[in-house]
Structure 1
Amino acid sequence: MGMVLLGLATSCSEVMDEPGLNPNGDEITLRFEAPEALQITRAVPGTNSGQGGLVNVDWSQYDLRYQVAVYSEDGSTLLVEPQTQTVDNYGPVIFNFRLTPNNTYKFVAWADFVRQGETADLHYNTADFTRIAIQDSVDAQLNDESRDAYFLAKNVAVSQTFGETMTLKRPFAKLRVVTTDWALSGAKMPDNFKVSYHDCTRFVELNAVTGEASGGADADASVVYTATLPQDASGDKFYEGGYDATANNRTLFVDYLIANDVQQAIHFSVDWLQGTESILTKDFTTNIPIQRNYLTTILGNLLTVGGSMTIDIEEGFVNEWIDGEEWWSASGITPVEPAYEETRNGGQAVRTYHIYTREEFAWLPDHITEMVTETYTDADGKEKIISTVIYIENDIDMSGVDWKPIYTTGENTYTVDGQGHVLRNFSMNGQFGAVYEYKLGPFVLFTYHAYTGVWGKFEGVMKNLTFENITINGLANSEVDVDTDGNPVDHSKEYAYFAGCIGYTGANYSTVVNIENVQARHVRIKASDGLQTQNVGGLIGWIGVGGGNTWLKNCSVDDVTITGYQAGGLVGQVVGGRGVAFTNCSAENVIMRMRGFARSGISGFIGQFNDGAGSKIEHCTYPTNVQYIDDATGLVDESYEPASPYYGYCGYGKTTPTIVE
């Protein structure tokens, strides 16, 4: 690892008291590194469009180049020309400067990718740190992970010899477009794209000294950016992890956009092509939020006419937004009552519903309570509850719908058998959640919008079902969003309390909770800043005290990002005390984001047991790839450690659950 010193003689301070390079001054040691969250993900094999260049570039073709310059405290004068180091794999670098003491200097660092073995500019002209400019042509800006870069400008008071570590951050917002209907309908699939930005500001330069994006101008819709479908050497998906791990999800293109620290809205149109033939065009005219160091994900059925989308932001990126299809391509839906049949089982009346379409599934939220409370008179003249069974007969795609959770009052149970099918592309913003009252005795202290999920509340048997692409409050805190009619949308009051694919289950020890062979993948849950994010899980948010018939078996989650406490990749909170069993369950690829001081009861598997007495975790697999992130900074919180890899916390003085590995 060599160090190149450029033009240092011209920057020497002739008067030893003046700030600048000084052979007799104090030696300053500075250590520079890219965001720590990326260091963690770098160890996880495979590419992922939700991460950046450190994970996704081919290191046999690129080096990472660091440049560090020294300016006067106010940034007006360059005192030391940029020093350069290149590394051929990710790793922090150390720079040493000998400067006149008792002065404050502004250190400005820039790190980007260059060709293997070279130091010349590749994607950005860095001759002037006050005007670092994009130099790629319009046919070379999309789908190139080596365009990722990092920078930092920081004032350091030099009064004595010392060392300091500085973490760089991206000057970009990363935009990725992920379709959820790849090869799903038998239609032609695109292999290249034309993208035009319009009705928004495009920045082409960064002033690394001030940290401001510059060169802003109204996007010219006549400027067309082109890209081919990202593929590996064998022609398969280039990206392997995250959303792309599922067959029908595929990242179509990514773009790194120079941005500022404040939110801005972008708009763009896409022409999907196979060869030279246009397959489909889509114009995203609603406001799509971007922000520096945020990942914005557009997720939905993008290759289907009338398809829908969700938008999301994350990874080493400070935070994330998910903009659901209901915001940019809302789909009206008219619920339809599903067909059913009534039979008798040993005298017990059973009503069996068969769900074939999304319209039939959308009928459930407004009718589930009457379904599970309807009665009949048996042969002895006694009134009894009709048993309810729901069979999912097809995969159900709820793209474009602001989903209203299925929620039952009371504790009546019923059975849902997915028969191996998938419930996919469900997006919720909390407006339909039931109100939860937090009480102290008879007094109501707080009220929350709660019970958010595909099922807000469920009691009974659920089996043979997969949840896929589930988003709760994906646009929380977005300040630029509008609906499809152009009206502003308030995302400042979106709660996540009892939230998951199933928000709440196991109301008391007498209820039945049997969850078997139920999987969840690609789940994103958060809430607006300052609002309750509690009892949140990738599969289930909250489970009650348990009992002899409360258990999960052969269930799993994969690719889950959750913000909150009493939160876990699989289950958020288990009240426990009477026994809840977990058998052959697993979690993997989990990110837990923690807010403020609420940092207890959090793990990649189960967040919290109030009381583990009688509960058993048997032959389960906790996640090996789990990150605990400070939600305010997007950086790993090294101080947090769960009580066990299987759970974050068990109530003080309470029995811990039995673990059988």
Structure 2
Amino acid sequence: MRLFSIYPFFMILLSLFLFACDVHEWPDETSEPPKPDHVSVELRLDFTSDRAELPDYKTIVVGATRAADLPSYETRYQVRVFRMGVDSLFETIPCQTLSFSHAEIESLGYRMTLDLPEGDYRFMAWTDFVEPGGKSDLFYDTEDFASIELRGEHAGNNDFRDAFRGVLETGLYTSTDGGRQKLTVSMCRPLAKFRFVTTDVEEFKEYYLRSILQNAIPGKDELKDAIDMTKFRIVFLYDGFMPSTYNMHTDRPVDVRTGVSFPSVLTDIKDGEAIMGFDYVIVGEGDAGVSVTVACHDENGKRLSGIDGIKVPLQRGRLTTVRGNFLTTRSSGNVQIDSSFDGKFDIEIK
């Protein structure tokens, strides 16, 4: 039986990426009091609503983790402020734009001070990961918050493709005491995550020895243990469409790509199971889903097994784990390793 398990994943890896409570201060260029008819605003990006711990699960450790690549990335914070115009609509060009990257990636949170004229405003914030020493886009093109698009070759199996967004609309008016107005933007992921876990590593070794090598007796533990499972190439292919562009103003995906695929290798191999790979998908509120084909190839590129057109249910801010005998199942081609496969999956939501 194949099993889908959907879990909250508001903190990606419990032991490796903790959202600490400390808040970084935005570089303060001036300490001067606000101008007349201006409001001094302390704006805080709050990630606490999307940082709940993952429930205990035996395969939560994935191969490509943030901790393994900590020196390679920085956290980038972007804030754009839009003022309401005379037509009671927010202007499309921001009146203030701020961008800052920080080498600290084990905690999220930022606080900054702004000086703004009285009026109604929309504060929009985006947080993602970039290369060290710069503010340039890496995984997402963020030039236009109405069209945040995936950049370059698709980066599956990378937890640094995680991202957060937040929007706050409020009015700013001077007070008699001239005190600073404190505002908080709640940050959350516009993404869902899925991962595939194969449960038939030992059965695959038996099959490989018997049918591929044709020179060993099935059941010989010493021969099975000698098989290097990391040499097999896993390929994920999105069937049909994959969401590729996100509109922060409407809080929904607005464009898709076709023919998207990414390679992977088996990781966290133990107890007859292994993680085949994972990815992040742009989703809106409510239920969503993608169709994925996953296949295992040998070092020469020959497809050994795989299942086509797996319907993966997704929910924003949650992790979908797809479990099954993926290494010893073929749902296409002229070889049926597992004739009992009926294309159906059970779905369990916790």
Global fold match (TM > 0.5): yes
CA contact (8 A) 1:75 1:209 kept: no
Deviation readout 1:287-343 (Å, 9 max, x if unpaired): 432232222221122112269xxxxxxxxxxxxxxxxxx99734xxxxxxxxxxxxx
Q: Which of residues 128, 134, 138 in structure 2 aligns to 1:112?
A: 128
Deviation readout 1:595-646 (Å, 9 max, x if unpaired): xxxxxxxxxxxxxxxxxxxxxxxxxxxxxxxxxxxxxxxxxxxxxxxxxxxx
Query: Counterpart of 2:70 in 1: which secondary structure?
Result: coil
- Structure 1 residue 37, shift from structure 2 partner: 5.2
Query: Counterpart of 1:59 in 2: which secondary structure?
Result: helix
Which structure has the larger Rg over C-alpha atoms?
1
- Structure 1 residue 64, shift from structure 2 partner: 0.8
Q: Which of residues 158, 162, 166 in structure 2 aligns to 1:148?
A: 162
Identify the residue that residue 73 of structure 2 maps to in structure 1.
62
Q: Which of residues 171, 181, 191 in structure 2 aligns to 1:172?
A: 191
CA contact (8 A) 2:49 2:187 kept: no
Gaps of 5+ in 2: 1-23, 29-33, 209-228, 332-339
CA contact (8 A) 1:113 1:149 kept: yes
Identify the residue that residue 110 of structure 2 maps to in structure 1.
93
CA contact (8 A) 1:47 1:56 kept: no
Deviation readout 1:458-497 (Å, 9 max, x if unpaired): xxxxxxxxxxxxxxx605xxxxxxxxxxxxxxxxxxxxxx
Query: Counterpart of 2:51 in 1: which secondary structure?
Result: helix
Return the alpha-carbon distance in structure 1 between the equivalents of residues 286 and 341 of structure 2. 21
Query: Counterpart of 2:201 in 1: which secondary structure?
Result: coil
- Are residues 1:226 and 2:262 paired? yes
Alignment of 1:308-327 (within 5 A): none
Q: Which of residues 295, 300, 308 in structure 2 aligns to 1:271?
A: 295
Q: Against the structure 1 CA distance between its residues 104 and 230, is the aligned structure 2 distance closer, same or farther, given a 3 Å change threshold?
A: farther
Q: Against the structure 1 CA distance between its residues 197 and 62, is the aligned structure 2 distance closer, same or farther, given a 3 Å change threshold?
A: same
Q: Against the structure 1 CA distance between its residues 91 and 291, is the aligned structure 2 distance closer, same or farther, given a 3 Å change threshold?
A: closer
Deviation readout 1:27-49 (Å, 9 max, x if unpaired): 111111335553756xxxx9734
Identity percentage over the alignment? Answer: 23
Alignment of 1:411-560 (within 5 A): 474-475=348-349, 526=350
Query: Counterpart of 2:160 in 1: which secondary structure?
Result: helix
- Structure 1 residue 225, shift from structure 2 partner: 1.2
- Structure 1 residue 212, shift from structure 2 partner: 2.1
Deviation readout 1:85-109 (Å, 9 max, x if unpaired): 22222231112111122x2211110
Q: Against the structure 1 CA distance between its residues 328 and 260, is the aligned structure 2 distance closer, same or farther, given a 3 Å change threshold?
A: farther
User: Greater helix share, 1 or 2?
Assistant: 2
- Are residues 1:127 and 2:163 paired? no
Q: Against the structure 1 CA distance between its residues 166 and 250, is the aligned structure 2 distance closer, same or farther, given a 3 Å change threshold?
A: farther
Q: Against the structure 1 CA distance between its residues 27 and 47, is the aligned structure 2 distance closer, same or farther, given a 3 Å change threshold?
A: farther
Q: TM-score, normalised by structure 2?
A: 0.68
Return the alpha-carbon distance in structure 1 between the equivalents of residues 167 and 289 of structure 2. 26
Alignment of 1:205-220 (within 5 A): 205-216=245-256, 220=258
- Structure 1 residue 3, shift from structure 2 partner: 4.7
Identify the residue that residue 282 of structure 1 maps to in structure 2.
307
CA contact (8 A) 1:30 1:166 kept: yes
Alignment of 1:14-25 (within 5 A): 23-24=35-36, 25=38
CA contact (8 A) 1:123 1:134 kept: yes
Amino acid at match of 1:31: R
Return the alpha-carbon distance in structure 1 between the equivalents of residues 265 and 96 of structure 2. 40
- Structure 1 residue 158, shift from structure 2 partner: 1.7
Q: Against the structure 1 CA distance between its residues 113 and 304, is the aligned structure 2 distance closer, same or farther, given a 3 Å change threshold?
A: same
Query: Counterpart of 1:71 in 2: which secondary structure?
Result: strand
Q: Against the structure 1 CA distance between its residues 168 and 56, is the aligned structure 2 distance closer, same or farther, given a 3 Å change threshold?
A: farther
Q: Against the structure 1 CA distance between its residues 194 and 132, is the aligned structure 2 distance closer, same or farther, given a 3 Å change threshold?
A: same
Query: Counterpart of 2:145 in 1: which secondary structure?
Result: coil
Q: TM-score, normalised by structure 1?
A: 0.38
Q: Which of residues 20, 23, 31 in structure 1 aligns to 2:44?
A: 31
- Structure 1 residue 23, shift from structure 2 partner: 4.2
Return the alpha-carbon distance in structure 2 between the equivalents of residues 129 and 328 of structure 1. 43
Identify the residue that residue 82 of structure 2 maps to in structure 1.
71
Query: Counterpart of 2:329 in 1: which secondary structure?
Result: coil
Gaps of 5+ in 1: 6-21, 232-236, 238-243, 308-325, 331-399, 401-426, 428-472, 476-525, 527-661
Return the alpha-carbon distance in structure 2 between the equivalents of residues 93 and 109 of structure 1. 11
Amino acid at match of 2:238: Y
Query: Counterpart of 2:123 in 1: which secondary structure?
Result: strand
Deviation readout 1:265-299 (Å, 9 max, x if unpaired): 321212211322322121135x4322322222211
CA contact (8 A) 1:203 1:215 kept: yes
Query: Counterpart of 2:189 in 1: which secondary structure?
Result: coil
Return the alpha-carbon distance in structure 2 between the equivalents of residues 172 and 211 of structure 1. 11
Amino acid at match of 1:474: E
CA contact (8 A) 1:3 1:83 kept: no
Return the alpha-carbon distance in structure 1 between the equivalents of residues 342 and 266 of structure 2. 25
- Supply the RMSD in Å over aligned alpha carbons: 3.3
CA contact (8 A) 2:242 2:260 kept: no
Return the alpha-carbon distance in structure 1 between the equivalents of residues 203 and 49 of structure 2. 37
Deviation readout 1:31-79 (Å, 9 max, x if unpaired): 11335553756xxxx97349x97x6563222111110101134444333
- Are residues 1:250 and 2:274 paired? yes
Query: Counterpart of 1:120 in 2: which secondary structure?
Result: coil
Identify the residue that residue 232 of structure 2 maps to in structure 1.
191
CA contact (8 A) 1:4 1:83 kept: no
Identify the residue that residue 80 of structure 1 maps to in structure 2.
95
Query: Counterpart of 1:78 in 2: which secondary structure?
Result: coil
Pick 1 or 2: higher relative contact order, CA cutoff 8 A, min separation 6: 2
